[in-house]
């Protein structure tokens, strides 16, 4: 089934590109195009279709491998089922998603602030310089990057000290 879908896509794309080339060259449909241009168009379409098919197969294989790894590492939990993920769906998602990355990058270069998940990020010199969050009453506030990182690092350090203290007491009780 996948083979027929793949071949149909290649043939339809090749015919579409042939028709486009004929229109650009102002030729009638009964006038043949040079063979080398037809071969180049068909080869390009085939390579693109094969690359997309390969990408879809690799993505589904990777997802399945990670799901199997999770199932092996935690057998007491409900197993992760990925049988509903199809190669076609991954290819379509990639075709839709791929143009969004350059578009988002371009928008980031043009704008100095970005709203993402309810947080305003202010960008200067290619880096996030401030994050503005909204309180429940609707008022915006911001905390500098250094302050928020300080708090995070302090919490991490306290957690590691606590963990080391628990390990020391465990070792003392065992010896």
Domain-wise residue ranges, the chain: 1-98, 112-175
pLDDT at 132: 85
For residue 120, give every residue at least 6 positions away whose Cβ sits within 8 Å of its Cβ, in sequence order, or none. Answer: 113, 114, 131, 132, 133, 140
**Half-sphere exposure for 154 (CA within 13 Å, toward CB):** 6
Q: What span, in angstroms and rounded, lies between the C-alpha atoms of 111 and 166?
A: 49
Q: Which of 12-26, 29-43, 103-117, 139-153 ranks highest by mean pLDDT?
A: 103-117
Is-above-0.85 flag for pTM? no
Contact 137, 131 (CB under 8 A): no
User: H or E element: which one contains 134?
Assistant: strand 127-134
Rg for the chain (alpha carbons), in Å?
28
Does residue 65 register a pLDDT over 90? Answer: yes
122-151 per-position pLDDT tens digit: 887 777 778 888 888 888 888 766 666 666
Query: Could you give the angle at the alpha carbon of 128 between the alpha carbons of 124 and 133, nearest 5°?
Result: 120
Does residue 12 register a pLDDT over 60? Answer: yes
Share of the chain above pLDDT 90, in %: 7
DSSP 102-120: HHHHHHHHH-SEEEETTEE
Contact 6, 88 (CB under 8 A): no
DSSP state of 81: -
């Amino acid at each position: 089934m996948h083979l027929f879908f793949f071949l149909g896509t290649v043939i339809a794309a090749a015919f579409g590109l042939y028709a486009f080339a004929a229109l650009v060259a102002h030729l009638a449909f009964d006038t043949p195009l040079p063979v080398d241009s037809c071969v180049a168009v068909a080869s390009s379409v085939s390579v693109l279709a094969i690359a997309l098919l390969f990408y879809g197969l690799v993505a589904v294989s990777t997802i399945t491998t990670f799901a199997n790894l999770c199932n092996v590492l935690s057998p007491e939990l409900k197993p992760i089922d990925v049988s509903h993920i199809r190669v076609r769906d991954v290819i379509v998602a990639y075709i839709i998603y791929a143009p969004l990355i350059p578009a988002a990058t371009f928008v980031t270069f043009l704008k100095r602030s970005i709203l993402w998940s309810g947080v305003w990020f202010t960008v200067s010199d290619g880096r996030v310089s401030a994050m503005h969050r909204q309180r429940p009453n609707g008022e915006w506030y911001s905390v500098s990057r250094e302050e928020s990182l300080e708090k995070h690092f302090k919490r991490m350090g306290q957690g590691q000290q606590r963990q080391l203290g628990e390990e020391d007491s465990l070792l003392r009780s065992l010896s």
